[in-house]
Each structure stands twice: as structure tokens, then as C-alpha cells.
Amino acid sequence: MTAALAAIAVVLALAIIRLPLLVTAGLVTVSAILLLTFAYPLFGLGIALILGPFGALESVVLGSSLLDSGQLALMLTLTAWIGSGLARRRLRIPATAFNLPWLLFIFIATLTLLDSYSVMLGLVELLKWLEIALLVWLVLDFAGRAELGYSKVMRLILGMLLFSGLIQALIGIWQFGLRGTGPEHFMVLGRFYRAYGTFEQPNPFGGYMNLTAMLALGTVMGLLASWLARRRGRSGDGEHLRPFSWWFVYALLCAGAASLGLILSWSRGAWLGFLAGAAVLVLFSTRRVWLGLGLMLVAATAMSALLAFGSSAGFSPALAITERLGGFRSEFTLGDVRGVDINDDNYAVLERLAHWQAAVDMARDDLWTGVGFGNYEAAYSEYALINFPAALGHAHNYYLNLLAEVGAPGLLAYLFFWFVIVVQTILLIQRLAWPERGIAVGLLAAWVALAVHLLVDKLYVNNIYVHLGVMIGLLQLFAWSGFWTGNKRGRRLDETKALSD
């Protein structure tokens, strides 16, 4: 290791002397990332989370490539992790509730490639799900190491997830309100441009913002609940926490920026997902289910009243949001869309419905094995409607997309996978102490927001699945650790200082 460091130092010294300043700076930066990743793989994971969303932008600027900078950082991180495990003779797959449903879905999806249009397209999709599993196991492996522990890894993972989302949120806010230019078809309200971050499309950007916003809002709720519990003299719910500690301020900043970025994306699917996720946050904001239901009803009524009042009063933002959501409802019709008149107002909705119809036709032809995992676009030309010959890459409804690609067994396996994750999250919420309970509620809200948004889009794109894999890893970390409430399991105080430090 010493010899390798010396060699790198010599190369960098020669580079500083011979190469231009910008090239030298790039070499130094890359070398530093390499060294830190091999020394601390969790650092590489943070870099992968930050760079992941830049994949779409890189494909526009540099051309399409299977390995963007986020994927390269992830591959480097996984290599460092596996290498360290082999060196320690401690490389194993942790036993979690995640493993069996994940393996079932992977098995069925793989079988569909035996008679698919393109095996390579299916392998690309399978690679995404393999990365999700590797990320879950990586998080648990490092949390189980004595030098790190559950609390430290939990803080690091949470901080990295929120930070990567914060970067994208700030880019999106700048695009909407400050840049003053953008793609013409992204223009809204006559003078602004929809936020899309480095995703190059507002809809996946909005979905990504949902994941960050839900997790951040849940963290804020958990921190406040922990502080209030201590103020009331309850010793069973968490350690002492100052309400304006840096964790609280950081989570509040991420929650505000991500929520604003979500609104500015102007994505109806993301908005609906946010509303569903927010309902989950309110429902689980208290341990009394009946009280949570009451709060959810009050919040929904208040939001509806505010939008209605703002629209009737001519308040531009409220009017625009109401028209945006209402327009989708008026343009949406189930059934055969081949005879529907197309105009500028309904084209986007009809295009989605046409792709839904193609997916249903694919499933009708082969309900059990589909056209092959990841092969919707390859099969689309055989099922395309005459007015919509261009494939959009997916069906703009992930459930129909899966039904077309992996058949009914594959769709059921996917739903079973998320059913297990959701049930596990709810069980953990009932047992966790504040503030960790708030983080788990944020994760549940993120799962629900994702599930709703997938009704009108596909979000396993542009490395969002890397973010999801780390979030699922955080959930499994809670399941493995001892962050329990005092009246349930007995808190392990040596591991429960999590966010109170």
C-alpha cells in the first residue's frame, strides 16, 4: 500500500510539472477520490449518490454510455468493499427480509429473457436490481463493523441521501426561477421553465425529489417528536435533542428545497405521489392510528380549501396547480384511443394512453412470460398505434410496463417485493423510538410516493435505483439495530445516540 501511494505521489508530481493546470486539478481530484474510496468505501458511496443523477446530462453532452460517472463511482465502491471483505475473510450475504422477495423477482425476470427480443436489454435491467441488492448488503456490512457501528453508519447514510437530493433541488430551483432560459416545451406560466435538474426530464426529477422530500420531512418530524417527548419528561422516546441542532436545520433545509423543487418540476405524477406520501407522514405522525386519521382528514380538507380559495381569488400559483391537475382529469379516458381526436392540449395524455394500450396488447399476447424484461421498447413497433409510432422507452405506467415485459408472474413478484418492504417498514415504525421512527415514516412515505408516481411513469432510470438501494439498506439497518422504544424491546443505549449527537 505504501509503495502504491508513493507511485501515485510521483505520478502526480510529474503531472503538476508537465500538464496544464485544469488537467492537473482533475488528476489530483480523481486520485484523491480513488484513494479515499479504497480507504473508506462509504465515501465512494457518497460520491456515487451525488454523481448518479448526472448520468442523463452526461449522455447528452458526451454521448450515450452504459457506465456514467455515477456508475463508475459505484463500481469502484463495490470493488473496494468486496476487496476489503476478502482481505478480512468476512464477505457474506446478510440475512434480511429483503433477500427472498428480491431473489424471486430476479429469478422470474431472468426466465423471461429466454424468449425475448434482446437479452442485452434485459441484462441492463437486471444489473439495476443486482446493484440494489449489493447496496443493501454493503450498508449492512459496514454497519456491523465494530469500528463504525449502526449509529455512525445510519448518520452517514442519511446525510449522504439528503445531500445528493439537496444538490439536485438547488439546480432545479435555479433552472425555474433564475436561469431565465430552457427548452421551449418546458415553459410554464408564460415565463418560467420547469425544473428538471440534471435528469433532462422534469418527471423523473420530480420523482427523485419525492424520495428526498419524504425522507427529509420524516427526519424533521422525528427530531421534533423526540425533543417534545423530552420536554414532557418522557424518557422512553429518545435521547435529549435540541430543536435547532445542526441535524434539524440540515433536514429542514433539505425538506424545503426538495419540496420546492418538486413543485417547480410541474410533474403531475410527482405531485400526486407527494400528496400520497404526505398523507402517510401525517397518518404516522402519532402512535394513535385514530388520531393520525383525523389529522390526515384535517390536512386534506385544509389543502383542498386553500387551493379552491386561491383559485377563486385568482391567485396565480393556486390557479395554475388546480388547472394542471384538473386538466389531466378532463383529458384522461380509459379505453381504445385510436379514434380520439388529437390536439395540443390532450396530446401528452393520449400519448401515454397509447403506450398503455400497447403494453396491454403485449400482455394479452403472452400473459405468462411477456416480451422479456427491459424489452418494451424493442417490442413496441409491433404494437404501436398509427398516430404514435415512436416508442418512449417505456409504457409510462411501470405496472403495465412490467406486465408487458415479465408477464403476470413477474408483476406479482414485483408487487410482493414491495409488499414485504412496506410491511417491514410499518412493523419497524411501531417499534422504533423517536427520532429514528420519524426516519422510518419518511421511508414509508417515500415508498408510497414512488408507488403512486409509477402509475404514470417509470422511475428506475438515471441511477434513481441506486438511491433506492441505499434507502432500502437504511431500512434493513434499522431492522438489524437496536433503536427500539423502551417499552417494546429495551433500548440499547450504546447504539441509540443516532441524531442526538
- Measured in residues, the chain has a length of 501
pLDDT at 176 over 60: yes
DSSP letter (8 states) at residue 187 = E
What is the rounded (10 degree) CA torsion for 93, 94, 97, 103? 0
Instruction: Decide if 164 contacts 49 (C-beta within 8 A).
Output: yes
pLDDT at 8 over 60: no
DSSP letter (8 states) at residue 183 = -
Q: What is the pLDDT of residues 10-36, one digit of tens each?
A: 655 655 566 565 655 666 677 677 777
Rounded-to-integer distance, Cα 383 and Cα 395, Å: 12
Instruction: Decide if 118 contacts 375 (C-beta within 8 A).
Output: yes
> Which of 158-172, 179-193, 248-262, 350-364 is predicted with the least confidence, judged by mean pLDDT?
179-193
- CA 170, 171, 175, 180 dihedral sign is positive
Task: State yes or no: cis peptide before 101, omega within 30 of 0.
Answer: no
Q: Give me the residue spans of the domains in the chain.
A: 40-314+368-375+389-495
User: Regarding predicted confidence, which is higher, 224 or 234?
Assistant: 224
The pLDDT of residue 389 is 81
Q: Give me the mean pLDDT over the 151-179 stretch.
A: 92
The pLDDT of residue 198 is 94
Record the pTM: 0.86
User: Which residues fall within 8 angstroms of residue 135, CB to CB, at 6 or more apart?
Assistant: 45, 466, 469, 470, 472, 473
Q: What is the pLDDT of residues 319-373, one digit of tens each?
A: 455 555 555 554 555 566 666 666 666 677 788 888 888 999 999 999 999 999 9
User: Regarding predicted confidence, which is higher, 215 or 192?
Assistant: 215
The pLDDT of residue 490 is 36
User: Which residues fall within 8 angstroms of residue 309, CB to CB, at 6 or more apart?
Assistant: 318
The pLDDT of residue 27 is 64
Per DSSP, helices labelled H in 119-148 are 119-143
Q: What is the pLDDT of residues 118-143, one digit of tens each?
A: 999 999 999 999 999 999 999 998 88
For the chain, first and last CA: distance in Å? 34
Amino acid at 165: G
